[in-house]
Amino acid sequence: MNIDTARARLRPVSFVDVDELVHLDSDPEVMRFVSGGAPTPRAVIEDWVVPRAETERRMYGTGTWVLCDPATTAFLGWVSLRTPRHSTRAELELSYRLRRTVWGRGLATEAAFAMIAFAFDHLSTDRVFAGTVARNAPSRRVMEKLGMTLSAIHLCDDAADSAELLAIHPDRDRSEVEYEILRADWQERSLRWSSAGDLSA
Ligand SMILES: CC(C)(COP(=O)(O)OP(=O)(O)OC[C@H]1O[C@@H](n2cnc3c(N)ncnc32)[C@H](O)[C@@H]1OP(=O)(O)O)[C@@H](O)C(=O)NCCC(=O)NCCS
């Protein structure tokens, strides 16, 4: 199922997107908070990333959507809703990754907003959550703009990463944060957003 936002089209990912996905994950700045900058091997995308998304789509109606420019169909990145494997809750994990050339225009927030709306309007989920490393300020800002609230902090407890070392090499801090939005919060915020006409209410 395609989903249209004000400035983008979201369509389910498929094998035709492999080259663009490889290219996206080859940008060290895009991968900085994901893998420390390391690219994702093409084989991982071909053998695991795309097949898993297609399985998710078939089994649960979730998966990964490619974010495209509606006029040119150009690949801009992706957003995803994933069913956590070992969870007994009705919950979905939200993720997003965009090309660096389109950062800072509100596109991740716009696309993630559409994903959350899809999750609560079309799937029987009670909770959408998203995680990232604590240092990923842009991603955390997206979560906050979506009305998500901080639900967990996992501090980096590696003894080798002392406070002094992390002060010199902040990129070594692997502490993680998780944000969530519950169905009731979403319904309440949606009402406020629809009456205010934007995402800043
Ligand atoms: C995270 C990501 C998807 C955001 O995409 P985007 O389209 O630029 O996001 P938006 O424009 O909707 O919002 C970004 C917000 O972060 C803010 N921001 C950007 N850099 C920031 C920084 N260093 N410190 C604090 N805030 C920052 C922006 O100002 C904006 O907030 P604002 O609207 O209040 O001004 C993009 O940076 C990305 O693809 N990163 C690599 C992959 C990644 O980290 N994915 C997430 C988790 S694994």
Average pLDDT across each block of 10 residues of the chain; the chain has 201 residues. List them in order.
96 98 98 96 98 96 97 97 90 98 98 96 95 96 96 77 66 86 90 67 44
Distance of alpha carbon 118 from alpha carbon 127, whole angstroms: 12
State the chain's mean pLDDT as an integer: 91
In this structure, the residue with its CA closest to atom 19 of ligand 1 is 138
Tell me, yes or no, whether 201 lies in a domain: no
Q: 113 in ligand 1 pocket by Cβ < 6 Å?
A: no
Going from the Cα of 199 to the center of ligand 1, the distance in angstroms, rounded, reads 15
In a domain, 140, yes or no: yes
- Domain span at residue 61 reads 3-196
CATH number of the domain where residue 9 is located: 3.40.630.30
CA of 104 to the centre of ligand 1 (A): 6
Q: How far is CA 80 from CA 64, 113, 137, 159, in A?
A: 4, 11, 19, 34
Work out how many domains the chain is built from and give that number.
1
Q: Are 102 and 76 in contact (CB under 8 A)?
A: yes
Written as one letter, the residue type at 102 is V
Q: Which two tokens stand for residue 25?
A: 């994950």
Residue 166's pLDDT is what?
Answer: 65
Smallest CA separation from ligand 1 atom 34, residue = 141
Give pLDDT tens digits for 68-87: 999 999 999 999 999 998 88
Atom of ligand 1 nearest to the CA of 102: 7
